[in-house]
Structure 1
């Protein structure tokens, strides 16, 4: 049985049924998520006209990474990962359904969005952890970079077309109809996951010693893995710099640059093209350069992208500036995910992913709320300048750090 499974894992990824189902589920869920990502901030803006309310929603969506990160990791390692993905996709479906119903009966309030946004994000985060942890179970080790690149590539394609489509839908129909697309996508995702068959060998893992002990093992595994810990700490500060941008971006282009829903969608489409390029070239770049060097110099692209954002005079120039950042972020994410999958035993991967994700997201709620408060009284481009300075400092630190030559 093991020999058959190993043979299947070493097939071309496009002939691997389990990978195709995972890939297809990512296509569907990414498309639906674009509807939600564009619709919800604009819905909050229509309801409140407040930058604080918009950035608060983004903070709420990141809170699960902090509060349930390690707990989700333990659950992913303890429970069948396929069942976990099914359960969390169903929770997301119920959350979106509740928002749609409240919209239809005209009783939706901001606090409803915050509560269901938290639930949706919690389920989505846990689903993502299980999705990340399942990849080494269904593909060979030497295929991890390629598998992550293919998943990132298709997600970026959806991110390229999705915002424009979401903006067009919002211009033509209601928020309810746009969110209904996400509802259908979540249902299709559930059926994709249902047909995935995990190899029997993947169930061979040490017996649990208790919930807290499992959490401690995940923490210890991360702290002892210096190859993974360095980029994890780096992302902690990358997320701080990013949160100063994403917390006010839609408010900035809407309120200050006068962009319409359609233009916002097209702006994110332009931005996603950078990610598309990054996902398409990462495998070739990896053949020529070490992962440490690639990861380090991606930060230099971040400096350039955010610096351009400071002086962008219109929505489409903002899109170009974001595209430079998306190019580097896509490459660095693929490199990071591959390092985490390759250097972590699979029975610990859920916990290490949960612990590292929690650590990386600690600064996000603070940055998002700070950005919202800043935007109410102070010029937003100054925030972008602060963000660029953080990226530059991180690049210098990693350039002189041994990590650059380790992997």
Structure 2
């Protein structure tokens, strides 16, 4: 594999590692995904609006989001196998090309008046499957694009990208949909084209050489699962990530319902959601500074316990907009934890297992998050708002206890050493 210095500039003579901002390969991938994520956020808003206009049915509009989530979850493990078996660059190019064509065809169908629920669901299902493969390949490729000491910073940059596009994409999607129903889908297709070009322009390999073909079928993903369960840190990551994701998703959902039941206008509820997004966006930029101040095990423990306490405070003021303040502070801390945990995962996992290990962890985390709205709804239906919402700080406390007592977390070093290729 080529040395990283071939696509970075200007630090070898100073004795300091090059800045991540000067890493050409990583910045190409990151910029392409900024555009692609923004386009996907536009389409995610526009798709249920389109279905609602076509069918006048909120239930069918909701079906679009459910279909996307179900397909993405179902494709996680197969995506990990593909990413470890085939060339990651070619997979990413194929996924972008597929999504580009799919959303151009959807836009043309909308213009021609031929778009119906069946057409929309086919595009959403295909696009979600391609996104599952692409995102797994992107996670796995980061380790090949940056120096070991920069992996955590690279994951933090990706966190900032995610929060930033989630803030910018939906308003832009709403604006374009108001100007023309097909525009958000054509716009999404353009962003996939830009992502494809960015991936093509990366000259460095996105994986280490693979002398042996990876096993196929169930044996392949079982190999990844066995590696996760056999590594103390990765086992702890599973137990930490799943409750954290469920808690954040459920808490935000329950908070939204609680504010509406207390009479807060929908516009102000939207402002609360924006405050949370801004908290995460700022937290992603603060993540590297937090990681420099604290050792990784201490950082994870502090963030988990702080998040549990801040969520509990948010519950106490859950009937007013003030509830967004402590919850935004908890969201602010989230990117640092994610960057530390997933950055460390990328460093300690052999390259030929990256895709499968990432897919196992993401499957556990996203499946837990998918159950959160249903859990919140059941709790709110049978308990008072504050009592129901207390379930989510308790979930975070499970993660905090794991972080405190797990040998896998306590053994984390500040600069993990990447395992040698096998």
Q: TM-score, normalising length from structure 2?
A: 0.80
- Whose relative contact order is higher, 1 or 2, with alpha carbons under 8 Å and at least 6 apart? 1
Root-mean-square deviation over aligned CA pairs: 3.6
Query: Which whole-Å deviations, capped at 9, do the CAs of 1:180-212 have from their partners, x for residues lacking one?
Result: 322221121111112112339822443334333
Deviation at 1:322, TM superposition (A): 5.2
Paired position in structure 1 for 2:78? 71
User: Does 1:203 find its partner at 2:209?
Assistant: yes
Larger helix fraction of residues: 1
> Corresponding residue for 1:20?
27
- Once residues 338 and 128 of structure 1 are traced to their aligned partners in structure 2, the CA distance between those partners, rounded to angstroms, is 15
TM-superposed deviation, 1:32? 1.4
Q: 1:224 aligns with which of 214, 222, 230?
A: 230
Rounded to whole Å, the distance in 1 between the matches of 2:105 and 2:372 is 29
1:351 aligns with 2:356: yes
Contact kept in structure 2, 1:167 and 1:265, CA below 8 Å: no
Structure 1 residues 248 and 117: alpha-carbon distance in aligned structure 2, compared to 1, 3 A threshold: farther
Identify the residue that residue 138 of structure 1 maps to in structure 2: 145
Q: 1:17 and 1:6, CA in 2 relative to 1: closer, same or farther beyond 3 A?
A: closer
**Aligned twin of 2:287:** 282
How far does the alpha carbon of each residue in 1:320-344 deviate from its partner, in whole angstroms, 9 at most, with x for none? Answer: 4653343122222211220111110
Alpha-carbon distance in structure 2 between the residues aligned to 1:278 and 1:326: 7
Q: How does 1:384-395 map to 2 (within 5 A)?
A: 384-395=389-400
Within the candidate set 40, 46, 62, 1:33 is matched to: 40
How many residue pairs get aligned? The number is 401
| Partner of residue 403, structure 2 | 398
1:238 aligns with one of 233, 244, 253: 244
Q: Give deviations 1:235-283, integer Å, cap 9, x for gaps.
A: 22223334435667777778964325xx676554432221222222221
Change (3 A) 1:146 1:232: same
Q: Contact conserved, 1:233 with 1:360, CA < 8 A, in 2?
A: no
Match of 1:363 in 2: 368
1:213 is matched with which residue? 219
363-372 or 32-41: which moved more? 363-372
Change (3 A) 1:285 1:350: same
In structure 1, C-alpha distance between the alignment counterparts of 2:155 and 2:270, rounded to whole Å: 26
Alignment match, 1:294? 299
| Alignment CA distance shift 1:277-1:367 (3 Å) | closer
Equivalent position of 2:90 in the other structure:
83
242-251 vs 288-297, greater mean Cα deviation = 242-251
| Mapped partners of 1:373, 1:97: distance in 2 | 40
- The residue matched to 1:202 in structure 2 has which SS? coil
1:117-174 per-residue CA deviation (whole Å, 9 max, x = no partner) reads 333222112111111111111222122122222233344333344344445555x534
Distance 1:321 1:45, change over 3 A: farther
